[in-house]
């Protein structure tokens, strides 16, 4: 299966679940190219953007695991 480059946006509504998010990202570390996390204090949110290079199955598994975490919203865009 061909690898895809994808950007994943993660909206975190509760910073107390950071360890759970970090564990999932660590589990998929082999496909993570880069990560940027920004606390948006005015809205009491955190936003994380992840660039990944993996198969559609790997990307789907990662976004699925993240989406199962309460108070997390996930969107992805496959670029190529």
With CA atoms as reference, report the closest residue to 46 among 13, 7, 9: 13
Give the C-alpha separation, 45 to 38, whole Å: 9
pTM attached to this predicted model: 0.94
Looking at domain 4-78, its CATH superfamily turns out to be ACT-like. Chain A, domain 2 (3.30.70.1150)
* Tens-place pLDDT, residues 14-67: 989 999 999 999 999 999 999 999 999 999 999 999 999 999 999 999 999 999
């Amino acid at each position: 299966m061909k690898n895809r480059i994808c950007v994943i946006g993660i909206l975190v509504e509760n910073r107390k679940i950071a360890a759970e998010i970090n564990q999932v990202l660590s589990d998929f570390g082999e496909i993570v190219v880069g990560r940027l996390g920004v606390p948006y204090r005015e809205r009491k949110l955190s936003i994380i953007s992840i660039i990944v290079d993996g198969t559609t199955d790997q990307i789907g598994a990662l976004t699925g695991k993240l989406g199962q975490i309460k108070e997390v919203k996930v969107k992805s865009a496959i670029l190529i």
